[in-house]
């Protein structure tokens, strides 16, 4: 066990959380969520994606959202860019970090970004080069690293292959993503070990959706390996439009509650984070999908 003493959380709620919402969420609400997250102490926020509005209409206001944020010093804002068209559109918004997103299965790659794994790497390569030339940090995501909605089981070797290809084109950080939330702790550790063949422990993160209620366990299993960076989503929002039935990311509130209880620092004020999650949940007219948020809100009410 080599538990980290500090953890960095990237709140992906504004992007991963909201991309799947059927009814449009106005840009001002997305901006309001970003502002509340940074006020709660989040230092990394995944704001939006520069993808085709035909594929993901909810993210069509990407530039408007980026332009509306009052940036807080010390906070880093990231956006998804699947190709040069997306990158060129994103540059004007001055992201601190971009994300290229590949997959550990051919079928998911095809459904999500309309190309094979190999073609995706060819599309990412110039994006990575252009971003790095501008000093923009490049993160990569490997979707369906623990299981695919179309192909089923995904072996660690497939994660290893994508990790190798991402490393070869200069992707600086690799996020191992359980897109449909089917992973369990030991399987997560095997996938992480595969990523660690090409990336340092300081350059990998876990991105766990909570569809099967495994995401906190998977986070703990990763913490035990020394992994200290995680993507989470306030109020447990989200899902991927191209992964039917998959629910949101693990709730930021639940992860922060667990980490603080373990004496691990996050720099996040849990109470303010609860307010951020309540803000977006109220807008969406539903309860936060977070046990910690529910418990704390009940306590406040009582």
Q: Is 81 exposed, middle or buried (0-12, 13-18, 19+ CB in 10 A)?
A: buried
Site string for Mg ion, 2-41 (x = CB under 5 A): --------------x-------------------------
Dihedrals phi, psi of 73, to nearest 5 degrees? -55, 140
Cβ-proximal residue to ligand HMG, closest one:
86
Dist. CA 210–CA 207, nearest whole Å: 10
Q: Answer yes or no: are the C-beta atoms of 208 and 175 closer than 8 Å.
A: no
Q: Answer yes or no: are the C-beta atoms of 258 and 220 closer than 8 Å.
A: yes
- 56 lies in the site for ligand HMG, by CB under 6 A: yes
- Find the binder of ligand HMG among 38, 49, 58, 219 (CB under 6 A): 49
Binding to ligand HMG (CB under 6 A): which residues in 154-183?
A: 177, 179
Binding to Mg ion (CB under 5 A): which residues in 176-215?
A: none
Catalytic residue list contains 240: yes
- Find the binder of ligand HMG among 31, 47, 79, 113 (CB under 6 A): 113
> What are the distances in angstroms from CA 269 to CA 3, 42, 43, 164?
21, 9, 12, 37
**Residue 278 Cβ, how far from ligand HMG at the closest point, in Å?**
23
**Residue 66 Cβ, how far from ligand HMG at the closest point, in Å?**
14
Q: Answer yes or no: are the C-beta atoms of 192 and 222 closer than 8 Å.
A: yes
Binding interface with Mg ion (CB under 5 A) = 16
Question: What amino acid positions are annotated as catalytic residues?
Answer: 240
Binding interface with ligand HMG (CB under 6 A) = 16, 19, 49-52, 55-56, 80, 82-83, 85-86, 89, 101, 112-114, 141, 143, 177, 179, 207, 209, 240, 242
């Amino acid at each position: 066990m080599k538990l980290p003493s500090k953890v960095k959380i990237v709140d992906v709620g504004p992007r991963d959380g909201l991309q799947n919402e059927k009814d449009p969420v106005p840009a001002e609400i997305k901006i309001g969520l970003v502002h509340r997250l940074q006020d709660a102490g989040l230092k990394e926020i995944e704001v939006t994606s520069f993808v085709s509005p035909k594929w993901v209409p909810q993210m069509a206001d990407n530039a408007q959202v980026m332009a509306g944020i009052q940036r807080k010093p010390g906070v880093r804002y990231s956006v998804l860019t699947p190709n040069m068209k997306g990158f060129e559109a994103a540059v004007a918004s001055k992201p601190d970090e971009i994300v290229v997103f590949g997959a550990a299965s051919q079928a998911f790659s095809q459904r999500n970004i309309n190309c094979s794994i190999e073609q995706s790497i060819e599309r990412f390569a110039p994006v990575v080069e252009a971003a790095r030339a501008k000093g923009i940090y490049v993160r990569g995501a490997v979707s369906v690293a623990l299981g695919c909605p179309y192909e089923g089981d995904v072996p660690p070797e497939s994660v290893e292959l994508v990790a190798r290809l991402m490393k070869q084109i200069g992707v600086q950080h690799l996020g191992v993503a359980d897109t449909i939330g089917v992973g369990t702790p030991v399987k997560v550790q095997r996938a992480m070990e595969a990523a660690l063949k090409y990336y340092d422990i300081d350059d990998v993160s876990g991105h766990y959706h909570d569809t099967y209620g495994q995401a906190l366990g998977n986070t703990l299993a990763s913490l035990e390996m020394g992994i200290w960076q995680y993507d989470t989503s306030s109020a447990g929002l989200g899902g991927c439009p191209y992964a039917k039935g998959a629910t949101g990311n693990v709730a930021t509130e639940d992860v922060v509650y667990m980490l603080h209880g373990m004496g691990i620092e996050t720099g996040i004020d849990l109470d303010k984070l609860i307010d951020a999650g309540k803000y977006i949940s109220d807008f969406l007219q539903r309860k936060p999908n977070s046990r910690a948020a529910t418990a704390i809100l009940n306590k406040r009410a009582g």
